[in-house]
Structure 1
Amino acid sequence: MMMDKLREGAQGKVAKGILGLIILSFALAGVGSYVNSPAKNAVASVNDNEISPQTLENAYRNERARLEAQMGDAFNQLADNPEYIKQLRRSVLDRLIDQALLDAKAHDLGLRIGDEQIKQAITSMPEFQQNGKFDNDRYLQLIRRAGMTPEMFRDSIRQDMIRQQLMGALLGTEFVLSGEASSLDKLYQQSRDVRLVRLPAESYLDQVQVSDEEIKQFYAANQPRFMNDEQVRVDYLLLDAADLAKDIQVTDQDVRDYYDQHQEQFQRNERRRVAHILIPLGKDEKAAEKKAEDDLAALNGGADFAELAKRDSSDTFSAKKGGELDWFEKGVMDPAFEKAAFALAKEGELSGVVKSQFGYHIIKLLGVEPAAVRPFDEVQADTRERLQKDKAREHYFAVQQKLADASFENPDSLDAAAKAVGLKVISSDYFSQATAPAPLNDAKVLSAAFSEMLREENTNSDVIEIGDGKALVLHVMDHKPKAVKVLDEVRELIVTDIKRSKASEVARSKGQELLGKLKSGAEVNQELSALNLKLEEHKGLTRFAQELDQSLVAQIFRMPHPAKQPSVELLTQSNGDQVIVALDKVSQPEKPSQMAELIKGQMGQSKAQADYKAFVDSLRKAAKIEYFAAQEAAVE
């Protein structure tokens, strides 16, 4: 979420639209770690730079959280499918690989982001603001909660902005000609006049019969359709950290003792507040420097700093306040600016003329907050929460180890392990890999539940981590192999399918007879009456018409334009119904509609997506990429 604000600076509408789809930044997930810190048991490597399991896990959890927020219950249904989760995890890993390739390419091209740009990006993030202003304490608190230092966060921001710079340059160059968009818009706005005759298959069901021999033949020819999935029934013990945490108590004395013993964790760095006057470099750098020197001389002669800042400073935001900036600590400002600001000793002291990449500064020290330990009252609530989580985590892992030992030492059932850790054995009904209930619908759990070795040895599984502070041990109690259902079980389904197919053929035969007459332009009212059919007319039918099934509309708009006679076709629907369509007229607007600009933007995005895919594909072809499936499957 934080990085979305940075993307607003990308140049060009197309670039803005596409960047949101193709660059998912994980600033607080430690994305940069896989380039410079090779991990053990890597899930993949890019040109020998490893992507760690932790990097993938953080990115995967962020993506799951995004999808859950976006899709709600629909995502939870999808997440019940182990194959979907496997594909989701692989898509996140592929995205991390693409990011690594983009970062390497940006480095080769020498792309850079200045410190002032990073500062502006950070201070503009709403997450770090209070009452519409950047709050340095809130900034430090949030990034520390994420386990990052200001330097680490700054570097992560820099990496993401460089990636945006590269993609903005690539995607922002695409354009669409007005004629292209106009032509497509006219096709979208096209309308058609049609006449329809529907021949529902169900109307002819009573005219068809199904023999026992046909049923047998259909059953023999379509046995893969009538398979029972492999099923198992298991007992399991579920260990939930959230349940264990309810018994964890943290006293006021615990919090105070931790605070007293870990003072270094509550250290607040020295902060300074300054005012400045900024003279931009412009086209004549010497003139800018002279202007700054003149202002400094005026200040030394007694001129009012605030008035001079309002008059001369190009930093218009601070100039309105007499040049005043908010409190900041080291690691936020431009290096040259920061060095000069922290060199000032007394409030009211002026710096010399300081050059940065943005121009010449004159800095006035307004206040100093020395490094100090944050007061206990200020950190008490956060410290209590941290201790609660730490103690709960320690207790969870201790119980988990006890569960692992007990289930290993007593492998033929879960009773002893349940008694050792105070859990209740839960028994499942029969389930397949596609119908496994939570929490058994995890890929690693399913792998164990359908393991031939566990069945043959009649032993407990290992402790299986299933994420979100949960783990389980299971024992397979029974197994039903994959097998073809008996004929009697599926007879009614087979009869229905055969009768529907035969009725559709009868309807098609009737339709073929009418088709020839319609093509010749002959009247068919008498034939329609005899068959108890009706002629429907739809004038001005558009591609987005709601009165007809969308699949039928799509078929109608694929029909050729009529010439001297109507264009007539017999169309088969997915349910076996037959529809005779006579296309009488095609109308197309002469002028583009209001949708033309939207279409132009969509075409630009499509081209940009194609460019991005081609670019990444070329980087992938030139790179050495390795996937380590075993380690990838172990990621939560």
Structure 2
Amino acid sequence: MLMDKLREGAQGRGAKIVFWLIILSFSLAGVGSYLNRPADTSPAKVNDQPITAQEFDQAYQSERGRMQQQFGESFAELADNPEYVRQMRQAVLDRLINQLAVDQQAREAKIRIGDQQIKDTIRAMPEFQKDGQFNNELYLNLLSQARLDPNSFSESIRNQLLQQTWASSLTGTDFVLPSEVTLIDKLLQQTRDAQLYTVPVAHFQKTVSVTDAELETYYKANSNQFRSQEQVNVNFVELDAAALAANIKVEDRELRDYYEQHIDQYRTAERRQVAHILISDKDAAVAEKQAETVLTQLKGGADFAALAKEFSSDKLSARNGGELDWFERGVMDPEFEKAAFALSKPGELSAVVKSQFGLHIIKLVGVQPEHERPFDEVKADVLAKLKADKARDLFIDQQQKLSELAFENPDSLDVVSESMGLKLQQSGLMTTSTAKAPFDDAKLKQQAFAENLRDTNANSEVITVGEGKAYVLHILEHKPAMVRPLADVKADVEAAVKLQKAQVEAEKQAATLLSKLNNGEDVSALVKELDVKVESKTGISRTGATLVGTLLNELFRMPHPAADKPVRKLVAMPEGDQVILVLNKVTDTDQPSAAKSMLQTQLAQGRMIASQAALLQQARDAATIEYNPLFNSQPVSE
């Protein structure tokens, strides 16, 4: 009966309306979820071409790595500043935008960069060379540290070469006029004769008086100058991987097992040296005919080096008889490499080999077979690596134990110290500016001054520093920053007020002295009264060290003096002294300097750099750039 009534209710008009409202709500929810799917995550677009989130993240992580290498442990403190991170992210994005804008213009100009040019550029980079030769293992290790893979790195080199070629094609016609070089050379050789009247602020510091009211007023207006810094005293224990490694014993059997398990680390891949003759011509038939002719001559006993110098399009290797550097597999063009490694004995010739660069005839010069370094030769290296591996594992285990003990006994580090045999150390009262090792590390310093550790009176979590040290801290004492009482800093306040008043008086008296000099009056009495230092200097040059930078810059900004009418100028020095510069004479020379030829090169380089910067700006201005408004809220993997 009950079920029948329910069935009847479900067939009523009201139930149907409710039913369709439910269906509609689900439909709209579905549509809403579809419409509200994550939007385009690309941080920006340049002429509708996106810079992908992956590209940005890779560039950002590479920049972080570079900054960490540059600033070391202090980078952690910078990275904790949200505004610094925001600016760094924006700088990385702007660089990617610039690169893409230039890349687009270069590609529109039909500029192409070949794979061999990229390989040659990478192999020539000193970062990847060991003992003057390209080292593939070093190359891969450095890319790994920078979070790059070979393909993406090669593509970045391609883009750089593309942009450089494009920029060079447009700025290669820049030149510097001989008259410009002559004028600048003349200006650099120009010398000036001057007199200096230095009105010392120290003279007035001895004579100015200060009232208690002035002290009180200055103290209140500048109270932040007299704040004591926050201080803490910290207990800590240190876990050191190097100390653990020193106590690790390794059996000879373990060394041999490690050597056999990691034999690839002690194996040198097969390398070959070849000579080649490269035949290239726009007409493929002509090139092929010439290559076959040269090969026939070689088979008939002709000298390979002589034919390389005569016919090879690779002029660099041709000068050396066609010989190339030693190489292993995976470096050269695939077809070239296949043919080179198919040769079996020195002096053997290949058939004509076609690659993307043209037609090659290859002669095997030498073979360095795969070589395994014997155990006895690398035993010391194996021992160091095995001990490092064991120390790393032990360090991780001890670090876990340290974390557990510090958490289970939060009130002090006594139990931690006793249980793990770690020395309990104390920092003594320190400020953020006086902290010494190990608290000069940003992460440790931050935890030492962390408010939550003070409030809970608990041990810190384990703090790792570098790859081999870990610490736990416990704050013993805290002294907050506060404005020191006037009575404690009265001498400092008095000195500051005296200096301020002395600077005003020195400027006033220097102005009076300048007025008298301009009016041609005798100033000897005033000079003596004010302890003015008078100096005469001749032959002052722009590049000399005769004057401090502030005075030197001002002196060479002053106009040339007229006959018997020196030019004078009052200059306030940073420490409070007032200096009257008197320019008496300007001496020019028409004789070229020994550096004139170098100057022309420097000016040309400077102009080229300025032109390239202008081209970059032009490419950016011409592009339509769209920023993703969600860019700064998108997460970036750390």
Normalized against structure 2, the TM-score is what? 0.74
Q: Distance in 2 between matches of 1:584 and 1:299?
A: 80
Aligned residue identity for 1:166: Q
Q: Distance in 2 between matches of 1:501 and 1:417?
A: 55
Aligned partner of 2:453 in structure 1 is: 454
Aligned partner of 2:66 in structure 1 is: 59
Contact 2:245 2:391 (C-alpha < 8 Å) held by counterparts: yes
Aligned residue identity for 2:231: Q
Aligned partner of 1:472 in structure 2 is: 471
1:613 Cα deviation (Å)?
7.7
Aligned partner of 2:214 in structure 1 is: 214
1:403 Cα deviation (Å)?
0.9
Aligned partner of 1:515 in structure 2 is: 514
CA shift in 2, pair 1:89/1:368, >3 Å: farther
1:455 Cα deviation (Å)?
0.8
Contact 1:351 1:363 (C-alpha < 8 Å) held by counterparts: yes
CA shift in 2, pair 1:252/1:164, >3 Å: farther
Deviation string 1:248-270 (CA, Å, 9 cap, x unpaired) is 23333212212334556666655
Deviation string 1:335-371 (CA, Å, 9 cap, x unpaired) is 2212333455787764332223433212345677777
1:215 Cα deviation (Å)?
1.3
Task: Output aligned runs, 1:158-237, within 5 Å.
Answer: 159-160=156-157, 162-167=159-164, 169-170=166-167, 173-174=170-171, 175=174, 177-178=176-177, 182-237=182-237
Aligned partner of 2:257 in structure 1 is: 257
Task: Output aligned runs, 1:192-591, within 5 Å.
Answer: 192-262=192-262, 271-279=271-279, 281-282=280-281, 285-300=284-299, 308-309=307-308, 312-315=311-314, 323=322, 325=324, 327-343=326-342, 350-364=349-363, 376=375, 380-525=379-524, 527-528=526-527, 533=532, 535-563=534-562, 565-589=565-589
Contact 2:102 2:619 (C-alpha < 8 Å) held by counterparts: no
Identity of aligned residues (%): 40
Contact 1:267 1:372 (C-alpha < 8 Å) held by counterparts: yes
CA shift in 2, pair 1:154/1:373, >3 Å: farther
Contact 1:504 1:577 (C-alpha < 8 Å) held by counterparts: yes
Q: Which runs of 5+ in 2 are unaligned?
A: 1-41, 43-50
1:484 Cα deviation (Å)?
0.7
Aligned residue identity for 1:386: K
Q: Distance in 2 between matches of 1:433 and 1:125?
A: 41
Q: Distance in 2 between matches of 1:425 and 1:403?
A: 13
User: Helix, strand or coil: the match of 2:507?
Assistant: helix
Match of 2:603 among 594, 600, 603: 600
Aligned residue identity for 1:409: E
Q: Report which stretch shifted further, 236-245 or 183-192.
A: 183-192
Contact 1:406 1:417 (C-alpha < 8 Å) held by counterparts: yes
User: Helix, strand or coil: the match of 2:406?
Assistant: helix
Contact 1:56 1:93 (C-alpha < 8 Å) held by counterparts: no
Contact 1:82 1:441 (C-alpha < 8 Å) held by counterparts: no
1:407 Cα deviation (Å)?
0.9
User: Helix, strand or coil: the match of 1:207?
Assistant: coil
Aligned partner of 1:31 in structure 2 is: none
Aligned partner of 2:8 in structure 1 is: none
Q: Distance in 2 between matches of 1:259 and 1:355?
A: 42
Q: Distance in 2 between matches of 1:309 and 1:92?
A: 52
CA shift in 2, pair 1:466/1:531, >3 Å: closer
Q: Report which stretch shifted further, 217-226 or 197-206.
A: 197-206
Q: Distance in 1 between matches of 2:52 and 2:231?
A: 37
Aligned residue identity for 1:222: N
CA shift in 2, pair 1:511/1:182, >3 Å: same
Q: Distance in 2 between matches of 1:51 and 1:127?
A: 20
1:238 Cα deviation (Å)?
1.8
Contact 1:235 1:425 (C-alpha < 8 Å) held by counterparts: yes
Normalized against structure 1, the TM-score is what? 0.75
Contact 1:186 1:589 (C-alpha < 8 Å) held by counterparts: yes
Aligned partner of 1:24 in structure 2 is: none
CA shift in 2, pair 1:606/1:432, >3 Å: farther
Q: Report which stretch shifted further, 205-214 or 521-530.
A: 521-530
1:592 Cα deviation (Å)?
6.2
> If you compute each CA radius of gyration, which structure gives the higher value, 1 or 2?
2
1:501 Cα deviation (Å)?
2.9
Deviation string 1:28-64 (CA, Å, 9 cap, x unpaired) is xxxxxxx9xxxxxxxx985764239974564345435
CA shift in 2, pair 1:180/1:98, >3 Å: farther
1:457 Cα deviation (Å)?
0.8
CA shift in 2, pair 1:318/1:606, >3 Å: closer
Q: Distance in 2 between matches of 1:337 and 1:509?
A: 83
Contact 1:102 1:163 (C-alpha < 8 Å) held by counterparts: no
CA RMSD of aligned residues (A): 4.4
Aligned partner of 1:40 in structure 2 is: none
